[in-house]
Amino acid sequence: MIGMILRMLLCVAQSIIVLEHYNDTCDIDLVLSKRVVASKRRDLNITGSSRRDALKFYRKRTTCKCLKKMHLEARKTHKFGLCFHCSSEQGRVTLSLCSRCMVFQYCSRECQVANWPAHEKTCGMYDFAHRHYSSECQDE
């Protein structure tokens, strides 16, 4: 039951992230392709630290004092992330980001190379959107 509630809260948080970066000069695909949106959505995926990330997200956007207390307690835990190739859960500090798109993370160079055929198109999409549309759809 708690897992289902957490997944729902994370989906709502991801939707809010998209809406925060959307304005009438952008289309939704462009917003989803922005690095800042993609990296925030990645961090809010279901991983070991998703509770911590969700608490941080909602604490920044509400004035609830109980969220502040829960987030401060959750900050005592380490941040975790998933390798996009082997799906191993590791501390975020040990994961490396793709230097081109700055969104996908890997536990080793071998995993990054092995995942390149699957990642290449998506990587190009994030890179293209960042280089060509960053001035068209500004962050606030």
- Asked if residue 140 is part of any domain, the answer here is no
Band (49; pLDDT cuts 50, 70, 90) = low
Alpha helices in 24-104 (DSSP H): 28-33, 35-43, 50-61, 65-74
- Asked if residue 64 is part of any domain, the answer here is yes
Of residues 26 and 55, the one with the higher pLDDT is: 55
- Asked if residue 68 is part of any domain, the answer here is yes
- Asked if residue 139 is part of any domain, the answer here is no
- Asked if residue 115 is part of any domain, the answer here is yes
- Asked if residue 138 is part of any domain, the answer here is no
User: Sign of the CA dihedral 10, 55, 24, 123?
Assistant: negative
Closest CA to 103 of 9, 64, 112, 48: 112
* Segment of 13-27, 41-55, 89-103 carrying the highest mean pLDDT: 89-103
What separation in angstroms does the CA of 51 have from each of 7, 13, 33, 111, 139? 10, 12, 25, 26, 26
Q: How many domains does the chain have?
A: 1
Coil vs helix vs strand at 105: strand
Q: What is the mean pLDDT of the chain?
A: 77
- Asked if residue 120 is part of any domain, the answer here is yes
The boundaries of the domain holding residue 54 are 2-133
- Asked if residue 23 is part of any domain, the answer here is yes
Please state the φ and ψ torsions of residue 113, each to the nearest 5 degrees.
Answer: -65, -45
